[in-house]
Amino acid sequence: MSKIVNMVDSQVIASVKHTKHLDAASTSNANIVFLLTGDLLSTPEYLNRLHKRDKQTFLHIDFVEGLSNSKNAIKYIARAWKPKGIITTRSSLIKYAKEEGLMAIQRIFLIDRNAMEKGIELAHYCQPDAIEVLPGIMPNIIDNMTKLTRLPIIAGGLISNRNEILNGLQAGALAISSGNPQLWNFDF
């Protein structure tokens, strides 16, 4: 069983895309935060603020301005910034993150069946701790994915209300990531 399964207290993950939402995420019911904003100077401060509030923070490294997507960048993130883990679309970075003791989430965009199958194939190869699928408003696809992989599924993207969260969870998603602060305090 993936470590992330035991880590999830709130099945809604705060996905912070704008710095103005950092405080809302840090005081929300969400115990896991996906940080999707920052640069080389601000990211350490954001991670520290969230860490002080006991948030398990995953850094989406594809969105950190000024950061290269390399093995050395992952080493630096792991040793200097110390997030709980990373999120990326790049399967090669998953391997580097795991080597550095970070958890890793593979992000997959579901544009068609081929993208879903290729994404699962890549995830099985690089063995992330979970797969985040976007958009997350497709319960039938989420259900299908849970039958194709044993890796935990996190659904995100275009989630706009409580019903969409419930549909994703009922379809088998471990958790739902949302960029909407109004959804971060739901308990299921």
Paired strand residues for 32: 56
Burial 43-70 (b: 16+ CB within 10 A, else e): beebbeebbeeebbbbbbbebbeebeee
175: left (phi over 0), alpha (psi -120 to 50) or beta: beta
3-182 carries CATH number 3.20.20.70 = yes
Q: What b/e readout covers 96-126, taking b as 16+ CB neighbours within 10 angstroms?
A: bbbebebbbbbbbebeeeeebeebbebbeeb
Query: Which pLDDT value is given to residue 186?
Result: 87
pLDDT of residue 2: 76
H or E element in which residue 72 lies: helix 71-76
Query: What pLDDT does residue 1 have?
Result: 59
Weakly modelled stretches of the chain, pLDDT under 70: 1
Report the pLDDT value the prediction gives residue 187, as an integer from 0 to 100.
77
Single pTM value for the model: 0.96
**Radius of gyration for the chain, computed over Cα atoms and rounded to the nearest angstrom:** 15
Torsion angle in degrees (nearest 10) through CA of 143, 93, 7, 20: -100
Q: Identify the burial level of 151 via C-beta atoms within 10 angstroms of its C-beta, where 0-12 means exposed, 13-18 middle and 19 or more buried.
A: buried
Q: Token digits for 22? A: 């950092």
Tell me the per-residue pLDDT of 30-83, one tens digit each, with 9 for 90 and over. Answer: 999 999 999 999 999 999 999 999 999 999 999 999 998 899 999 999 999 999
Tokens 């419930």, located at residue: 166
Partners of 87 in the β-ladder: 60, 105
Contact (CB, 8 A) for 126 and 101: no
3-state secondary structure of 123: helix
78: its two tokens: 């792991």
Residue ranges of the domains in the chain? 3-182
CA distance 51 to 63: 19
